[in-house]
Amino acid sequence: MYVVMKVLLYFEGENVISKSGIGRAFMHQQRALQSAGIDYTTDPWDPNYDILHINTYYMNSDAIVRNAIERGKKVIYHAHSTEEDFRNSFTLSNALSPAVKKWLIHLYSQADALITPTPYSKKILQSYGLTLPIYPVSNGIDLNRYKRDPEKINAFRKYFSLKATDKVVIGVGLLFHRKGLQDFVEVAKQLPEYKFIWFGDTNRLIIPKEMADLVDHNALPNLIFPGYVKGGIIEGAYSDADCFFFPSYEETEGIVVLEALAAKCPVVVRDIGVFDPWLENGTNCYKANDNEAFVNIIRGVVEQQLPDLTKAGYFVAKNRSIEAIGQQLKSVYEEILKETDSY
């Protein structure tokens, strides 16, 4: 069997999108390769690599791909993005999405293979007419990071001055319409007896005014927008919250859902294609499609009137551990290098 010698993991614009799901996926890849014993570099000027595993989509990324091809390297594009999940995000995203789709097809078509997080996103990419091999591999989750930790929980409760009697619903994501932020606000309005906290931030200059206004002119006393919070506070929030509510309309996976599952937090999501078949309503999470249903389910979860599904939810996360993803990536690399006779 071919032995992978070295992988170049490339991520452009880390300072800009490091707080996004793609940024966390990149960190998970590094950990996964370490766990699988695969040598890697993040230096694009390092000439000694066998496979370029690229994560981003800007102009430098295109140049890096062309350089790798010219040097006879294998190229795997990590297809985190689609036209569908670009829509309803930034200002003018819907007008720009056809051009974004063409650019993504141009980039992806140059690769020897694609990795994408879910079977759902694989189907979308195939609908673009892409015929190269596409491997669904989860972005993975660090189970240890989301273990219940009293110190993290105390940090979370102190940060938000929570009373012992407060019942808390959290959401996590960029401030996009696509993430269902407007629905999170509406559900919070209908459940004033609970605290709602949405973690995440986005530059107001690049999102529609109505999305910025939801956050900047929030008048609900039970709704908090703390911005981007990392480390023990948000990890404590996942462990201590009574419910994780993620009403997103479109994802390629949703790392924040994996984080909630790993923390054994009850999960309520919108019933969308990306969560099939790995999330099953009434088995490892609860799903709904409208705010009235969300209100009823969240009340049932918080008041413990619905069955506790967190044990089955944790099992989903466990199957997507960093170590498991490392072995899957190793298998993909070896498959791509089978036709190479450099060694």
Mean residue pLDDT across the chain: 94
Burial 191-202 (b: 16+ CB within 10 A, else e): beebbbbbbbeb
Instruction: Determine the pLDDT at residue 4.
Output: 53
Instruction: Determine the pLDDT at residue 24.
Output: 84
Q: What is the pLDDT of residues 24-67, one digit of tens each?
A: 889 999 999 999 999 999 999 899 999 999 998 888 888 999 99
Q: Is 19's pLDDT higher than 80? A: no
Q: What is the pLDDT of residues 305-330, one digit of tens each?
A: 999 999 999 999 999 999 999 999 99
Closest CA to 124 of 105, 111, 110: 105
Q: Across residues 144-162, what is the average pLDDT?
A: 98
Q: What is the pLDDT of residues 222-256, one digit of tens each?
A: 999 999 999 999 999 999 999 999 999 999 999 99
Instruction: Determine the pLDDT at residue 60.
Output: 87
Closest CA to 309 of 262, 255, 254, 265: 265
Bigger pLDDT: 298 vs 230:
298
Instruction: Determine the pLDDT at residue 342.
Output: 44
Q: Is 1's pLDDT higher than 70? A: no
Q: Per DSSP, what are the bridge partners of residue 109? A: none
Q: What is the pLDDT of residues 41-52, one digit of tens each?
A: 999 989 999 999
Instruction: Determine the pLDDT at residue 33.
Output: 96
Q: Across residues 123-131, what is the average pLDDT?
A: 98
Q: What pTM was estimated for this model as a whole?
A: 0.93
Pairwise CA distance, residues 107 & 77, whole Å: 8
Cis peptide before 119 (omega within 30 of 0): no
Q: Which tokens in the block code for residue 338? A: 């089978």
Q: Across residues 113-117, what is the average pLDDT?
A: 98
Q: Across residues 250-263, what is the average pLDDT?
A: 97
pLDDT band at 343 (very low <50, low <70, confident <90, very high): very low
Instruction: Determine the pLDDT at residue 15.
Output: 54
In angstroms, how far apart are the furthest CA atoms of the chain?
65
- What are the Cα distances from residue 286, in Å, to 165, 168, 299, 304, 315? 24, 17, 12, 13, 15
